[in-house]
Chain A
Amino acid sequence: MTKLVTAVIQPHRLDDVKSALEAAGVRGLTVSEASGYGRQRGHTEVYRGAEYTVDLVPKVKIDVLVADEDAYGVTEVVIKAAQTGKIGDGKVWVVPVEDVARVRTGEHGDDAL
């Protein structure tokens, strides 16, 4: 079985998280831009005295496919690398994946990781 580990983190932690995952043996990942808010909500910007609340703040989303038994460890690696202790650090979650296939070879399951 395979698991999908998804992390939404602060953009400035991306480099550290990437390095940590690589060091932990993760061989591939997908990064995308995301925007959203959690408990920290957005922030305010002032233009010529007019205050605008920016609800959705920029985040980076990382998707990693891992073997079942690695899911917990990868989650911990992400947490350790992404954590600043400040509000807005993000979330990591794990979901089961029914099937994975490598397009080049047609392999399925953990062989495709």
Chain B
Amino acid sequence: MHAVVSGTGHILRCGATLRKIQGREDPVGQRFTEVFEIRRPRIGPSMAVLRAASGSRLHLRMRSPPQIDLTAVLIALPKDGGPLSGGALVDLSFGISVIDAVRDFALTGSDFAVTDPTIEMLYLFEAKSAAMEASRKLNLRLQGAMIAAEEQAFTDTLTGLKNRRAMDHVLTRLIDRGEDFALMSLDLDYFKAVNDSLGHAAGDHVLQQVARRIVGQMRGADTIARVGGDEFVVILAGHAEGPVLVDIAERVIGCLEAPIPFEGEECRVSASIGAVLSRDYAHPEMDQLLADADRALYTAKMQGRRRVALFDPVQDAEGVPPPATPHQQGPDAKAPDRR
């Protein structure tokens, strides 16, 4: 786009595209500054001032609607006494407003000079938009797949232990096969105090260390799941003896009581454990086993925490609460009479 301006500031000639965007009124014959508002630099409308801006970048705005912005450069023509004496040649371009301009003025490829990269810019704009749309669709699909994978996951991401879903699967399988197993419901004691005094980062660290310590006390065939904030379930395949189970549970409590260092502080927690044996049931059911283990755990908590309580279906039927064995510190401590 270009315009030739006379020494009096009137437009003498202009390109076809400029005519197209000016609309009904032919810009030829009008004053340049009546057609264009000079936005920057802030200069007056006289021809002398305009000529002084020769060679520098001008920001223009069409005065007629839709008042699009244009970028321009003006070259002052010599005062040689000819028809263009004291005039100027103005080269105009759409700049960043080109996408709107093409739409508003129905411009076509022939409105742009062969060397003008505007068409390439428009191509790039459309091509990139299409590519972005394809990428956005892929992102949505991947996000959906991620959510589905999380729903199907069997791992507790904080501790690396199994999660509740995995525990359900293991229990269902053991019950379906009619295998003997023991189930321990473990709840940390004094964990809330760690969280409250040292913060969640300390709490998470404690949970990770607790998980590691429980794993260290179990065999590879056992299943250890974190089923709530500080609640764990351990499934011991093949275990059928109450006293052995209580022994193991006490060992777990003992190793959890060793202080857990965190950023110069020592975190101290303990645990209460409620346990059930599958062979105490004629027809073991998962929900029943878990509920009974939780009842035993409740008993252990009620009797002062840091204890193991083994659920007894016979005593339970007679209304006798299960005894809880207090955990004894140190390896030489003699375990009290258990059932």
- Same assembly: no
Binding site for A on B (CB under 8 A): none
